[in-house]
Structure 1
Amino acid sequence: MVDSILFITNAFPDAASSHRGIFIKRLASLLHEEGYQVSVVAPKIYKESPLFEVQGGVKIYRFPFFAGNKLLIEYEKIPYFKMIVYYLSGTILAIYAFFRNRCRLIHAHWAIPTGLIGALLKSLLSKPLIVTIHGSDFRLGTTGSGLIRRLFLYVCRRADHIHCVSKVHAKALRGLGIAEEKVSTFPMGVDRTFLDVGKGRDQIFREASVTVFSNRNLQPIYNVSLLIQAIPLIMRAMPGVKFWVAGDGPERERLEKEADRLGAMGHVQFLGRVRPNDMADLLGKVDIYVSTSLYDGTSVSLLEAMASGCFPVVSDIPSNREWIRDGENGFLFPPDNAELLAQRIIDVIRNRSLIEKSRKENLRLIEERALWSVCMGRVKEIYEDQLYSVSHGTK
């Protein structure tokens, strides 16, 4: 019997070029290759997005909720009316997809908002529920309003198993009274393509042609303005350095104006959205990877950069410290200090021995802890444990 899994996720790619929830799509595709039947329920954000489609054997169902081409993360305040429609529409479609595909297990990605739909289905259908906490949901669920915090805790308590992408989240869940034995910690995976790029690098970069790269979304939480502020400081010491800023979002126009005001536009290129399939090749042309994020779960972008052999210079936040040891396999900097970010980038360029040492260490870390082949084994183990418990009446 083929095991049928229902994904309920707040993000899933709308087109081949879409980046939204690309790692959810990759997980679904890999599970399909392993013989699982995967159905995905996700919100319909864009007018042109189909209500139903099949991508590589994975069925995708999208529920409408008057999104108006706007992501939930782009709202300054919670759109309560839209969220009521979101939950009603999402729950109805999830129930339909569950029965239509004879699913045996529910896997909700993001405890808030879609984890609540998963918890409702678990209550209605008495099927095992796995919840993956990615980062933004944890921040919202622990710092949001009292109602949001209660909903987050409700979802965590209803889940049969919780997958955290960061040890920071797992530790905090224990402090909230969630049993340690029902929590696993491992990242979303990295394709071996990135590791092949890292292993294929044949030389340490030259100071005259160094490229610094950021590919975080251009939204306030990712703090890309800090990198723009650091560029003039770096150019005074090293005028040959190039800066590439990939990604898109509501901050783009403001960032371009800021770069122009600081006299940095001649040194920085705004690349826009990069197709997921093109990211490995692009990282192969990059020397230093920068993330200025104010908050993250385990950043897949960071892991991909490490796998590709880029030197990471990232904000000193708890989730980054799980992967980067300052001065050993990368640099950390306070996310409010453009001067120190600039100095860190200058230090990287001048320290050839650290560059090569960090590259070898980062390739090892990714191969041992973050490749999809490693993470898939953990996911399948969780699924099999839950399905075994159901079939043997231990739940």
Structure 2
Amino acid sequence: MRILYASRWWSEHDRRFVAAWRGQGVEVIALAVDCTSPDDAAYPGAEFAERLSAAIEGFSPDVVHAGPLTDVARTVRDVWQGPLIAMSWGFDLMDEVDNSGEALEAARYVIQSADLLVVDNNAPRDRALELGATAEQIVQFPWGVDLSFWAPGDSPVREQLGWGDDAFLVLCTRSHEAMYGVEVLAEAFTLAAAVEPRLHLVLVGSGSETENLAALVAPVSERVAFLGRLDQKALRDAHRAADLYVSSSFVDGTSISLLEAMACGTPACVSAIPGNAEWIDESTGLSFASGDASALADLLVSAASDPTRLATLAEAATRRVHDRADWDVTAARLPDIARRALGTLEAS
């Protein structure tokens, strides 16, 4: 079987999907709108549609796997009338369709024409159904994480930062973009740090909001570290060092960052949005009203004083990830999904 994989960029998530296809014995090439995929150079063209058309002609795929729905999958459907697995990235259905009429139109077009629609969570599934998807068309599973890699262990991060064992390390690994609400955490941390001197904050990643975040935490900057973008091993070290992982995102399906934290045994505190609620409840973590910096600040202070409760929550969260989000299980499903798109399997 031959799969053409198309995405907006060439991220760690894209690399995982392509590697998973290949690991199942599928021949696959990958194209990215931003020309960062290793295969892009083989199909030169000024526009993504030109490279896509050239790749389809030269590679002759059996199935195209494409997303987000709001741009990449729409372009694919314009030039490819064969079997299409359209994959939601969560933010396309949970954010972009609400902020752009063009994105909404594109998502509806793709949903109506795709052979299969892949979602990772109930929240994007429900939105897809609202936009015209059928239940039979939808394939739902969390993308999952590699549980042999994302696991508890030792970390050099505290020593590297010069923070002792008495420091309570709060970690956020979300991109510094408005939809991920990292400014809510920055505001909350500044409030909480004035009350609890053990609190320290590590912000991984970068983005258009980085300068604003630095300004927000300036009053307590000596207890804040901006680490920028990290490779996977360094990111795992950050999770292993943390006492609490926080995501204050406004928009999410199943957050891979959250699953990574849970798999590493890091207690989690997340915004109470539908995507997070599938993973974090009162038995597996802490939650606060989306956008409520004051409520989050209170949780940070109380968490620093209750390590026993955090350990209990983290143990339950790790079990949940092992039960429901094993990437190897996800990868093994891909060939059957492709065959469904080809029409050789009955819809399940």
Q: Give TM-score, length-normalised by structure 1.
A: 0.79
CA shift digits 1:204-248 (9 cap, x unpaired)? xx9822210011111122221222212233223321222101111
Contact kept, 8 Å, 2:151 with 2:265, in 1: the verdict is no
SS in 1 for 2:144: coil
1:220 alignment counterpart: 178
Give the Cα separation in 1 of the matches to 2:61 and 2:87.
18
1:243 alignment counterpart: 201
1:40 alignment counterpart: 30
Aligned residue among 45, 52, 57 for 1:94: 52
Give the Cα separation in 2 of the matches to 1:171 and 1:139.
10
SS in 2 for 1:11: coil
Contact kept, 8 Å, 1:131 with 1:159, in 2: the verdict is yes
1:273 alignment counterpart: 229
TM-superposed CA distance for 1:103, in Å, is 1.2
1:25 alignment counterpart: 15
Give the Cα separation in 2 of the matches to 1:177 and 1:33.
33
Q: How does 1:140-159 map to 2 (within 5 A)?
A: 140=95, 142-159=97-114
Q: Does residue 301 of the first structure (1) align with residue 257 of the second (2)?
A: yes
SS in 2 for 1:39: strand
Which AA in structure 2 matches 1:23? H
1:311 alignment counterpart: 267
Are the structure 2 counterparts of residues 61 and 267 from structure 1 closer, same or farther at C-alpha, using a change threshold of 3 Å? farther
Contact kept, 8 Å, 1:41 with 1:60, in 2: the verdict is no
Are the structure 2 counterparts of residues 320 and 217 from structure 1 closer, same or farther at C-alpha, using a change threshold of 3 Å? same
Which AA in structure 2 matches 1:26? R
Matched-pair identity in %: 26
Give the Cα separation in 1 of the matches to 2:99 and 2:185.
28
Q: Does residue 264 of the first structure (1) align with residue 211 of the second (2)?
A: no
TM-superposed CA distance for 1:344, in Å, is 1.0
SS in 2 for 1:389: coil
Aligned residue among 231, 236, 252 for 2:210: 252
Q: How does 1:1-395 map to 2 (within 5 A)?
A: 3-12=1-10, 21-44=11-34, 53=38, 89-123=47-81, 127-140=82-95, 142-197=97-152, 208-260=166-218, 263-325=219-281, 327-389=282-344
RMSD over aligned CA atoms reads 2.5
Are the structure 2 counterparts of residues 134 and 96 from structure 1 closer, same or farther at C-alpha, using a change threshold of 3 Å? same
Which AA in structure 2 matches 1:98? I
> Number of matched residues?
339
Give the Cα separation in 2 of the matches to 1:236 and 1:317.
28
**Larger RCO (alpha carbons 8 Å, 6+ apart):** 2
Q: Give TM-score, length-normalised by structure 2.
A: 0.89
Give the Cα separation in 2 of the matches to 1:62 and 1:362.
44
2:158 alignment counterpart: none
Q: Which moved more, 1:301-310 or 1:276-285?
A: 276-285
Q: Which moved more, 1:140-149 or 1:238-247?
A: 140-149
TM-superposed CA distance for 1:281, in Å, is 2.1
Give the Cα separation in 1 of the matches to 2:149 and 2:328.
13
TM-superposed CA distance for 1:145, in Å, is 3.7
- Unpaired runs of 5+ in structure 1? 13-20, 66-88
